[in-house]
Amino acid sequence: MRVVENDQGGLSSHTGEGDEVVETSGNSASMLGDQGATETGEVPGLRAPQSDATDNPPDPRGGRAGERGGGGNDAKERREDAIDGLVGALGREKDGDEELVGGPCPEFGPDLSVGGVLPSEDAKDSSKVRLFVGDIHEGIVRSLASAIQRAYNVGMGLEGLAPAKINLRLRVLGRRPNGFHDLEMVNATLDLADTVRIEPADRLETQTDLPDGPRGPANLAHRAAFAFAARAGVPPRWRIEITKRIPIGAGLGGGSSDAAAVLRLLNESHGRPSSANEILELAEALGADCPYLVHGVPALVEGIGERVTPIPLAREIPIVVLHPGIPVSTKTVFEGWSPSGGAAGEGTAALRAAMQSGDLPGIAANLANDLTPPAIRVCAEIGRLLGRIQASGSLGASMTGSGSAVFGIFATSEAAARAARVLAQDAPFVHAGRILPSSPERPA
């Protein structure tokens, strides 16, 4: 059974898809990071299995296959070992590293109802995979499906997007005895996103492309990987590389989104050993924005971030985001908050209705953030930028999270682009983009 290359598609299932230890995301519960990770990245109450250098590391499966290989000869040897084992299990002969047995595999999705084989060693296009239908018993193929996919992805890695979060509305309803605050938020994601890449490694490593970016246990994504390994019962042996586009300390949820992306990718890569609720439990322990960002769709978020109710968004929303380049302390901003006396749900119902109907003026009229006054007392530049964006032709403007980023909603993308060109002289970071009805498929 010889393999020939064609364009019928690869085996990867695409997932569409933190730096800060203390996420400035508009919720003091985001400071759950203060529970402290150990030097190995261990999350309190969880312990991952110990790595054995003689074991093959668990190879990610699913996600978006990257274009560059990794692991050198080790990756090639693991790939050949996987092929030998699979082919040998069915009594087949392999020719080089280009033969594998397959059959019906519905779990790969509607576009991949058959098994497949690995591309040749020098094939870098993941779509060049030989697909065929065999008469092998479906149960055998299903039992081999995850091994086939892991073998395919050895040395290729996983890649996903971690979109920025925006708070269209953030109300602080009160403070709990444990110091956390009850919140009522309306969140959405932007077309601005970090890229998270995960590859097999001898141990857990995490780094960003920023020279001073958090590495290892100081990075929320690292702790997410360790928490997943502990829950799934697998050794934490991955290399996580994060390309940052979301400013740090801006209230845009960059660190939390990176962590949520790691949880999604690793769970997919291991055949979903953790249920959706279990992944959300892990996310809750990492920070208040993480559960929402696991969902990644416009939503009403309540409590300390654990209750997420999706909100249909009828259209994309043109937006301009400004960041003064000055991070603010979430803890300090919350300490400066004082009750306003407003009732829960005030204005939120109107905002949800406007989102569902695509009413941009209605959305802009109901923007609100109870943390804006204390944030401006900490960083006066926030107030100045709000004034600038309000004067630039926006329908409405607000701050996201506990700051220090602000944003404005515009009637059209063209109007947003014009305003961004003018506002570029006011802030070191300006993004003209869109609030999306769902998570972005590619970075801005």
Other Cβ atoms closer than 10 A to 353: 14
339/144 Cα distance (integer angstroms): 58
Buried/exposed code over 29-68 (b: 16+ C-beta within 10 A; e: otherwise): bbbbbeeebeeebbbeeeebeebeeeeebbbbbbbbbbee
Task: Name the burial class of residue 110, with classes exposed (0-12), middle (13-18) and buried (19+) by CB atoms within 10 angstroms of its CB.
Answer: exposed
Residues 154, 59 contacting (CB under 8 angstroms):
yes
Name the E strands within 176-237.
181-200, 205-208
Other Cβ atoms closer than 10 A to 173: 16
**DSSP helix/strand/coil, 184:** strand
Annotated active-site residue 426? The verdict is: no
Chain mean position to CA 306 = 17
Annotated active-site residue 289? The verdict is: yes
80/161 Cα distance (integer angstroms): 30
List all residues 6 or more positions away from 73 whose beta carbon is below 8 Å from its beta carbon.
Answer: none
DSSP assigned state of 39: T
Bridge partners (DSSP) listed for residue 163: 193
290/256 Cα distance (integer angstroms): 5
Pull the structure tokens for residue 164: 């920025």
Pull the structure tokens for residue 364: 């802009």
Bridge partners (DSSP) listed for residue 190: 435
| Secondary structure (DSSP) of 112-149 | --SEE-PPPTT---TT---EE---S-HHHHHHHHHHHH
Chain mean position to CA 399 = 22
- Calculate the alpha carbon distances from 185 to 226, 299, 352 in Å: 29, 8, 11
**DSSP helix/strand/coil, 174:** strand
Q: Which amino acid is at 258?
A: D
Pull the structure tokens for residue 293: 């960002």
User: Of the listed 59, 97, 165, 194, which one is catalytic?
Assistant: 165
User: Of the listed 59, 97, 194, 289, which one is catalytic?
Assistant: 289
Pull the structure tokens for residue 354: 């406007």
Active site residues: 165, 289
